[in-house]
Structure 1
Amino acid sequence: MIREERLRLILDYVNELDYCSNEQISKHLNIPFTTLRRDLTDLHNDSKLKRVHGGAKTIREKSILEAVLDEKLLTNIDAKKSIAKKAFDCIKPFETIFLDAGSTTFFLAELIKPELNNKIYTNSIINAQVLAKNGIKDINLLPGKLKVSTVAICGVETIAALSKYNFDLAFVGINAVDKEFNFFTTDEDEAEVKKIAIRNSQFAFGLADTSKNNSKSLVKFSDKSQIALINEEV
């Protein structure tokens, strides 16, 4: 068995069981202990699995904790601006748009100009300020409770107000994207806002740079069957 094939089989087996002893792997794949120890060390050094005493375990998907918005605006700026430009290219004149709170939607808000005559609803005080600075006339800031860490408005009042409206487009922020392209956020109230915005839109887009790939957060709010993902690569 060639080395590349052997490493793939070891990794698949460990990921399937979460944890395997050296004896299990050796017996199941018919690999000598000396070869197996060398292979596990290589896979561990490549961060593909974690070698532990007597065996190996899968590397769990990382969990993303909520960062304050100021920090987010200084992280992966080029990627977020690239995503914002792609999202902006989806907007047509006179469309009604939901613009979610978040750092990537902040950069999208910077691109929207009054010449498009869009009606914009948002749950972000910062995005509303950016839009106003750009000269947008029809800005609708949703009511509700302010989440200080993200400067997002959410809660019962937000959900009640949002449920009344229909949108041509919705642009929602994503905190984490797992391997199956399920989309997550860090807060249950914000998840409900995203769900309603997606449901009430003709087309919905999720904005997330690739640093959020292969990760999970507290609440799943959508998946690839409901919204189109825009990142700096797609």
Structure 2
Amino acid sequence: MPKIIENKIFEYIKKHKIVKSKDIEKIFQLTQSSSRRYLIKLESQGLINRTFGEIILNENKNFQDQKIENKIKTNLEVKNKIAQHASQLALGYKTIFVDSGSNCYYLIQFLDRNIELFTNSITNANLALDLGFQNVNILGGTLKQETKSIVNFNKNELEGINFPISFLGVNAIDEKGCLYTPEKREAKAKQDIMKRSLITVVLAEKEKFNTMSTFKFSDNDSKIVIVSNIKEKDLKKMKLVSNTQIVRIKE
């Protein structure tokens, strides 16, 4: 719960750029000491600056996606374990969509080389070719520089295509299991894929839980399975929406 409140406070500050300390206390119904603890923590992360009763967003901080080249070099052991476990859900499927992102990058090495692979990631497509995949398809649209992924799919790009199973990355997951990303175009692209998938598998490290980002992309009509190393005690605290389940792996 404290992490959820912290994220909501930060989203409020991010939206308004400059706010008063008293506003935080009033809006989030916090005591002065409680509000101060949250703000000190945000300041320690370099997200805000506090001065003379005002809280100022640190706009030099990059809140968007990191470059994919950097993300695939972090948390390698955990990402490989999540990817390997998630790949078991792909067994028997001949057509699979794999999203951009570092977790999905590691997933590719565990997939059958004979599948028809669709992706919106140049990085993941190159990896698949290097690994010997014979049928690799990149969906067309606008290329996002940081993630080297396609957003704003071209008109009619997905017409007539359905995916028995898709694998997506995520930036944040709230206490109900709803999924978030910091970029509007990326959220729309993920929604487009989910609407055309019978099952959506989301790969996420435990640090992404009980956090929020700017744009929610969950689809209430899709079956969603989240594969994660989330701790059992944290999983028990969640109140998942009906179409979502979590498969927990041990680190």
**Paired residue for 2:215?**
219
Question: One-letter code of the match for 2:136?
Answer: I
Question: One-letter code of the match for 1:186?
Answer: P
- Unaligned runs of 5+ residues in structure 1 are 1-14, 23-36, 49-62
Contact 1:184/1:221 (CA < 8 Å) preserved in 2?
yes
Within-5 A mapping of 1:6-85: 18-21=28-31, 65-85=64-84
**Paired residue for 1:108?**
107
**TM-score normalised by L of structure 2:** 0.66
Contact 1:95/1:169 (CA < 8 Å) preserved in 2?
no
CA-CA distance at 1:18 after TM superposition: 2.2
Determine the C-alpha separation between the residues in 1 that align with 2:100 and 2:216: 17
CA-CA distance at 1:101 after TM superposition: 0.7
Aligned residue among 117, 120, 129 for 2:117 = 120
CA-CA distance at 1:223 after TM superposition: 6.0
Across the aligned residues of Structure 1 and Structure 2, the Cα RMSD in angstroms comes to 3.1
1:21–1:71 distance in 2 versus 1, CA, 3 Å? same
Determine the C-alpha separation between the residues in 2 that align with 1:95 and 1:113: 9
Aligned residue among 180, 183, 197 for 1:184 = 180
Aligned with 1:169: secondary structure? strand
1:154 aligns with 2:179: no
**Paired residue for 1:10?**
none
The structure having more radius of gyration, on CA atoms, is: 1
CA-CA distance at 1:16 after TM superposition: 11
Contact 2:101/2:147 (CA < 8 Å) preserved in 1?
yes
- Unaligned runs of 5+ residues in structure 2 are 1-24, 42-61, 231-247
Count of paired positions? 189
**Paired residue for 1:27?**
none
Determine the C-alpha separation between the residues in 2 that align with 1:142 and 1:210: 29
Determine the C-alpha separation between the residues in 2 that align with 1:207 and 1:64: 21
Determine the C-alpha separation between the residues in 2 that align with 1:121 and 1:67: 23
